[in-house]
Structure 1
Amino acid sequence: MMMQPDPHLALVRPVSPRTPDGCEECLRLGTPWVHLRLCLTCGHVGCCDSSPERHARRHAGSTAHPVVAPMEPGENWRWCYVHEAMV
């Protein structure tokens, strides 16, 4: 059985980080983060699920932009929050 590609990959665009220095909301609120995730639809930078506020997941849920990539050097993967899987 052949796996079908994630349909949310159609939402991926060439983007630049809107806040390359950190999580957009955490920078505004003064809260800490663990790792950063880049929304591959609009360039929003949010904190990961290991961070206290989980802003990347919140952004995905509120905007229907489900695919993110890590902002850590050397990491090259994509995650779909809808399917809870690598894409």
Structure 2
Amino acid sequence: MTAAVDPHLRFVRPVVPRTPNGCEECLVLGSPWVHLRLCLTCGHIGCCDSSPLRHARAHAHDVGHPIVQSFQPGEDWRWCYVDEQYV
């Protein structure tokens, strides 16, 4: 059986990280983060759900960009916030 393809993959674009030094919002606020996520629609860098402010999830819901990729060295997995699954 073949797994279904996530329909939100159509939002994935070639992107350049907007703030490669850290979470875009946390850098402004001076807030700490745990891990970083790269929005695959616009290049926004946000902090993960284990971080205090969860900016990657907020970005996905606020602007409708559903898929992120881990921005951690050595990781290349992708996550869809709409379907709450790896893609």
Scaled to the shorter chain, the TM-score interval is over 0.9
SS in 1 for 2:56: helix
Identity of counterpart residues, as a percentage?
Answer: 70
Q: Which residue of structure 2 lines up, in the alignment, with residue 40 of structure 1?
A: 40
CA distance in 1, matches of 2:84, 2:56: 13
1:3-82 paired onto structure 2 within 5 Å: 3-82=3-82
Between the two proteins, the alignment pairs up a number of residues equal to 87
CA RMSD of aligned residues (A): 0.7
TM-score by length of 2: 0.97
Q: What are the ranges of 5 or more consecutive residues in structure 1 without an aligned counterpart?
A: none
Structure 2 stretches lacking a partner, 5+ long: none
Deviation of 1:43 (Å): 0.1
Of 51-60 and 71-80, the range deviating more from structure 2: 71-80
**Consecutive aligned runs of 4 or more in structure 1 exceeding 3 Å deviation:** none
The residue identity in structure 1 corresponding to 2:28 is: R
Deviation at 1:4, TM superposition (A): 1.7
Q: TM-score, normalised by structure 1?
A: 0.97
Cα deviation digits, residues 13-59 of structure 1 (max 9, x gap): 00010000000000000000000000000000000000000000000
SS at match of 1:82: coil
